[in-house]
Amino acid sequence: MSLFFIVALPFVGALLPGLMNSAGRQACAGVTFTVTLAALIGLLSNLPAVIAGETVTTGIDWLPLLGLNFNLMLDGLGFFFACLILGIGLLIIAYARFYLAREDNMGEFFTYLLLFQGAMVGIVLSDNILLLLIFWELTSLSSFLLIGYWKHLPEGRQGARMALAVTGMGGLAMIGGMLILGQIVGSYDLSVILQNREMIQASPLYLPALILILLGCFTKSAQFPFHFWLPHAMAAPTPVSAYLHSATMVKAGIFLMARMWPVLSGTTEWFVIVTSAGLITMVLGAVIALFKHDLKALLAFSTVSHLGLITMLLGTGTAFGAMAAVFHILNHATFKAALFMSAGIIDHEAHTRDIRRLGGLRKLMPVTFVIATLAALSMAGIPLLNGFLSKEMMLEEAYHTVLFENHWLVPALATFGSLFSAAYCFRLIGHVFLGPVRDDYPAKPHDPPFGLWGPPAFLVSLVVLIGVAPFLAEPFVKLVTASVLGEAAEVPKNYIKIWHGLVPALYMSIIAVVGGLLVLAIFRPLLRAWDAAPRPEAKTIFEALIAAVVALAQKIIQPLHDGAFTRYAGIMAITVVAAGYHAFATGTIGEATRTMQPITPIAAAGWSMLVAATLALVFMHRNRFFALILIGIVGLMVSVAFVYFSAPDLALTQFTVEVVTIILLLLALNFLPNRTPIESSSLRRVRDGAIGIAAGVATMALSYYYLLRDTVSPSISEFHLANSYKGGGGTNVVNVILVDFRGFDTYGEIIVLGIAALLIYALTETLLSGPVRARLLNRKPDQPRAGDMHPTMMVVLTRVMMPVVLMVGFYIFLRGHNEPGGGFIAGLIVSIAVVMQYMASGFSWASARLRYPYHGVIGAGVLIAGLTGIGSWFVSKPFLTSDFTYVRIPPFYKFELATAALFDLGVFLAVVGAVMLSLESFSRLARRAHVPESEHPMDIDPSREEREAV
């Protein structure tokens, strides 16, 4: 199966559990299981190629200019991890089916799980580090959802937040590291990066890249000092803990270290950082784990400790260390997932995970006892179980590792860590299962149904199988090791076997096991000492840190962001002007390449009117009706300027938009106060005036300099002029650009316009359904109303004009392709014609004659435009490719038929719908309670008659 499908299957499949939720728990889990199984089978179908040592690759260019390509590759290492992710995923799904309670939303759970699974598979199969980063962040997000799955538990939410904060920060650091790495090599493809060990290690940027990438790995894999999030993430449901925190997510950091091993390892920096972090984590985790009473907390810290062990092995930089690491990843995944599931079973059956309340479960839960004991003994490093083999290899490697020029440091610490590791394993067995049966369990424990113990039992059978017959696992481990090492080193010849003779590792192992038993024997005094000893609480520190960051952010933001919008606007204007001035003062300005055109009297007259109207607007804006007239003059002058400077289309558009805008503002003024009171001090007005003048001078200078210079690079307009008729079939270049060259932009714009209109409609609806409604209905108009609300003259005139205006609109629409006009302008003209009817004959009269709702008109417009675009797919052309032809039907002249006209029809309808819906919404607010709704066009205001009668 193609690698694409393996990665895509979980993501696509993530849609299914939610859909199957209502079909029952069985169906929901079944479909999740099937999806995962299909991906696993797909993965296994690539096994022959992987065994043959090939690297299966596939890829498509996504954003090649950024170096971001959807390239996937599958080698031994990727196969190994993908197998773990999907294989253990299968067991987890089966387990979760029985674990989750009836009130848990199973569809939601499995959706998150599949998202997570897909992201993990994506990480291990990525051949592009940018792609890998995307999947990396996806695992952080989806694990956040999974850890916080029990939303009602505050610990769950806190744990999820902490995990996201820590791994998210690490992810950010890693993005930096990966980008540096890509810059050094000149490619973001992993396969290329892995070939360039010398170049990377010789680069001066090697150390920053290494530190940033390791930050990402350490946070994800819970290495000291970032280990604290993992135990808090244990608030998650047990299947999540078993999946994320034993086999998958926390191994992502390990995976990346293994993946980057050929190019990053082998240097002193790598050795010191990685080995010491791993060593500290291993010892620290093991010691803390011993004293934890919560079963899952114990397992969490033991996971931290084992991750430290693997990190340390990768840190040594030797081929043998890498092989031991690979082997231990495999072994740890098997026994730790089994242990987590056992802990879940105990929690499920005994209703507590507190070790102090347990004990004697051996007789009550024999099956669970066998499973958990075998897994725990393997973790402790008892021979004939797989944990023993990799622990021996670890001790062997530690024996040969010299850190800080001290031959004793690493072996001693490794033995010490193993000793505590053995001790907590023995404590787990001894304090939970052995001992006398108690009579104060919160619930009567008994063995669960097969669905719960089957998956861990399968894992434990692997534990025993590998432990007894290590030669079965050896070829696979060596295959994976080979792909970890790449060309950097040879796979070691050493056999993985139970008996190596009387080597130092065996003595260290014996010390660890015997010491572990001794520690357990003196556990009670040790625990007292531990409880008495002061130690930093990671959660408190973390929360204090977060609180400090929040306080700092608030300190900065509060004074700036105090709800005074005028202040924001002022600050923004000043900033933009200052930045512009800086650019102007420091940059170079080319010579003027154009000469100024002479000022004509007409232009001077228009300019004077614009200036007069604008100044009057500034000084007299408090009279709002007058201000509307003034702004109308400004708009008119702008339209005239467009005509004058060869832009007839713009002039038509500006002019018609001006009309509807003024109507809109008039409708709004109906409800707003008619005057703006004087509120600001004269000082403040001078200040605002100064800001305005500064901005005005800046834009004027910019425009002036700009207008007298040609563009630096040639404009693409020549292309449009040259191809408008040849390619688009129209002589109005502006219209052809709108409906053809840049049709997709226009398509987006009519959608935006439609959304704006719908937003206005929605806001109106909200207003009319709230407390505002009563106030509107009982509103007293602030000015006397006209006696004849619908003057006869106006009614007659608008009705006579209606067909004429419609015809003009139609004409403007049709000629748009070749002459000034088109869908936008025609739409505005037709809207004005309809608005006139509303104004003359009244809202109710016009609404009653409305045959199609305006929402529908907008929708039809967008749909027609979209379908026109899709139509070009049927002739295998890209979206919105236009076509045109000339036909001649006697007795007419030859005329043109263009698909662009159909698109323009969509634009037309969308504009009509949007404009009308906006204006209609405003008008609906004006309805009042005491004025009867009349459908009669030429009535008089009855309230006036009543007043006269009184």
Residue 814, interface with other proteins (CB under 8 A)? no
Find, among 310, 146, 297, 131, the residue nearest to 218 by Cα. Answer: 310
CB 836 within 8 A of CB 663: no
Find, among 387, 383, 294, the residue nearest to 338 by Cα. Answer: 387
The encoded tokens of residue 886 equal 């000339």
Taking the complex as a whole, the smallest distance from the CB of residue 836 to other proteins amounts, in Å, to 18
**Residue from 749, 788, 935, 941 that binds other proteins (CB under 8 A)?**
749
Taking the complex as a whole, the smallest distance from the CB of residue 84 to other proteins amounts, in Å, to 53
Place of tokens 């990396």: 136
- Per-residue string for binding with other proteins, 496-525, x by CB under 8 A? ------------------------------
Main-chain phi, psi angles of 58, to 5 degrees = -160, 155
Choice between 384 and 660, CB closer to other proteins: 660
Taking the complex as a whole, the smallest distance from the CB of residue 849 to other proteins amounts, in Å, to 24
**Contact set for other proteins, span 754-813 (CB under 8 A):** 756-757, 759-760, 763-764, 766-767, 770-772, 775-776
**Residue from 209, 222, 309, 665 that binds other proteins (CB under 8 A)?**
665
Choice between 363 and 561, CB closer to other proteins: 561
Residue 607, interface with other proteins (CB under 8 A)? yes
Stretch that binds other proteins, among 275-283, 427-435, 787-795, 910-918 (CB under 8 A): 910-918
Q: Which helix (H) or strand (E) holds 884?
A: strand 884-887
The encoded tokens of residue 564 equal 């005074």
Please list, in sequence order, all residues whose beta carbon lies within 8 angstroms of the beta carbon of residue 51, skipping any fewer than 6 positions away.
479
How far apart CA 331 and CA 341 sit, in angstroms, is: 16
Choice between 734 and 865, CB closer to other proteins: 734
Choice between 471 and 644, CB closer to other proteins: 644
Choice between 554 and 731, CB closer to other proteins: 731
**Residue from 627, 826, 830, 862 that binds other proteins (CB under 8 A)?**
627
316 conformational bin, left if phi > 0, alpha if psi -120 to 50, beta if neither: alpha
Sign of CA dihedral 687, 689, 695, 701: negative
**Contact set for other proteins, span 280-339 (CB under 8 A):** none
Choice between 439 and 782, CB closer to other proteins: 782
Taking the complex as a whole, the smallest distance from the CB of residue 569 to other proteins amounts, in Å, to 5
**Residue from 820, 869, 871, 937 that binds other proteins (CB under 8 A)?**
820
Amino acid (one-letter) located at 548: A
Choice between 238 and 653, CB closer to other proteins: 653
The CB density around residue 284, as the number of other CB atoms within 10 Å, is 19
**Contact set for other proteins, span 192-251 (CB under 8 A):** none
Choice between 5 and 725, CB closer to other proteins: 725
How far apart CA 318 and CA 325 sit, in angstroms, is: 11
How far apart CA 903 and CA 907 sit, in angstroms, is: 6
Taking the complex as a whole, the smallest distance from the CB of residue 668 to other proteins amounts, in Å, to 5
How far apart CA 507 and CA 520 sit, in angstroms, is: 20
Residue 745, interface with other proteins (CB under 8 A)? yes
Taking the complex as a whole, the smallest distance from the CB of residue 592 to other proteins amounts, in Å, to 10
**Residue from 141, 434, 664, 805 that binds other proteins (CB under 8 A)?**
664
Taking the complex as a whole, the smallest distance from the CB of residue 693 to other proteins amounts, in Å, to 5
- 3-state DSSP call for residue 148? coil
Residue 925, interface with other proteins (CB under 8 A)? yes
Taking the complex as a whole, the smallest distance from the CB of residue 715 to other proteins amounts, in Å, to 6
Q: Which helix (H) or strand (E) holds 73?
A: strand 68-74
Q: How many amino acids of this chain bind other proteins (CB under 8 A)?
A: 120
Residue 596, interface with other proteins (CB under 8 A)? yes
Stretch that binds other proteins, among 132-140, 156-164, 294-302, 626-634 (CB under 8 A): 626-634
Main-chain phi, psi angles of 487, to 5 degrees = -100, 5
Taking the complex as a whole, the smallest distance from the CB of residue 644 to other proteins amounts, in Å, to 7
CA geometry: angle at 255 spanning 301 and 85, to 5°? Answer: 80
Choice between 450 and 886, CB closer to other proteins: 886
Place of tokens 């023995």: 426
Residue 61, interface with other proteins (CB under 8 A)? no
Longest dimension (CA), the chain: 121
How far apart CA 703 and CA 47 sit, in angstroms, is: 66
- 3-state DSSP call for residue 60? strand
Rg (CA), the chain: 38
Taking the complex as a whole, the smallest distance from the CB of residue 551 to other proteins amounts, in Å, to 19
Q: What is the dihedral of CA 94, 243, 481, 181, to 10 degrees?
A: 140
**Residue from 818, 847, 872, 934 that binds other proteins (CB under 8 A)?**
818
Choice between 368 and 639, CB closer to other proteins: 639
In eight-state DSSP terms, residue 240 is H
The encoded tokens of residue 819 equal 């002459």
**Contact set for other proteins, span 255-284 (CB under 8 A):** none
| DSSP secondary structure of 615-684 | HHHHHHTTBHHHHHHHHHHHHHHHHHHHHHTT-HHHHHHHHHHHHHHHHHHHHHHTTS-SBPPP-S-HHH
Taking the complex as a whole, the smallest distance from the CB of residue 909 to other proteins amounts, in Å, to 14
Choice between 247 and 610, CB closer to other proteins: 610
How far apart CA 676 and CA 674 sit, in angstroms, is: 7
Choice between 122 and 823, CB closer to other proteins: 823
Main-chain phi, psi angles of 947, to 5 degrees = -60, -40
**Contact set for other proteins, span 369-398 (CB under 8 A):** none
Taking the complex as a whole, the smallest distance from the CB of residue 678 to other proteins amounts, in Å, to 10
Choice between 237 and 728, CB closer to other proteins: 728
Q: For strand 68-74 and strand 56-63, is the pairing parallel, antiparallel, or unpaired? A: antiparallel
Residue 609, interface with other proteins (CB under 8 A)? no
Place of tokens 């010398």: 198
- 3-state DSSP call for residue 898? strand
Choice between 443 and 697, CB closer to other proteins: 697
**Residue from 163, 289, 508, 738 that binds other proteins (CB under 8 A)?**
738
Choice between 646 and 876, CB closer to other proteins: 646
Residue 604, interface with other proteins (CB under 8 A)? yes
**Contact set for other proteins, span 687-726 (CB under 8 A):** 688-689, 691-693, 695-701, 703-704, 706-708, 710, 715-717, 720-721, 724-725
**Contact set for other proteins, span 546-585 (CB under 8 A):** 562-567, 569-570, 573
The encoded tokens of residue 439 equal 């009579």
Residue 623, interface with other proteins (CB under 8 A)? no
Please list, in sequence order, all residues whose beta carbon lies within 8 angstroms of the beta carbon of residue 492, skipping any fewer than 6 positions away.
319, 320, 323, 481
CB 542 within 8 A of CB 161: no
**Contact set for other proteins, span 632-661 (CB under 8 A):** 634-635, 638, 641-642, 644-650, 653-654, 657, 660-661
Span between the terminal Cα atoms of the chain, in Å: 90
Q: Which helix (H) or strand (E) holds 26?
A: helix 25-44
Residue 673, interface with other proteins (CB under 8 A)? yes
Stretch that binds other proteins, among 23-31, 49-57, 370-378, 627-635 (CB under 8 A): 627-635
Taking the complex as a whole, the smallest distance from the CB of residue 681 to other proteins amounts, in Å, to 6
Q: For strand 884-887 and strand 895-898, is the pairing parallel, antiparallel, or unpaired? A: antiparallel
Taking the complex as a whole, the smallest distance from the CB of residue 871 to other proteins amounts, in Å, to 22
Taking the complex as a whole, the smallest distance from the CB of residue 598 to other proteins amounts, in Å, to 7
The encoded tokens of residue 758 equal 């719908």
Residue 545, interface with other proteins (CB under 8 A)? no
Choice between 205 and 592, CB closer to other proteins: 592
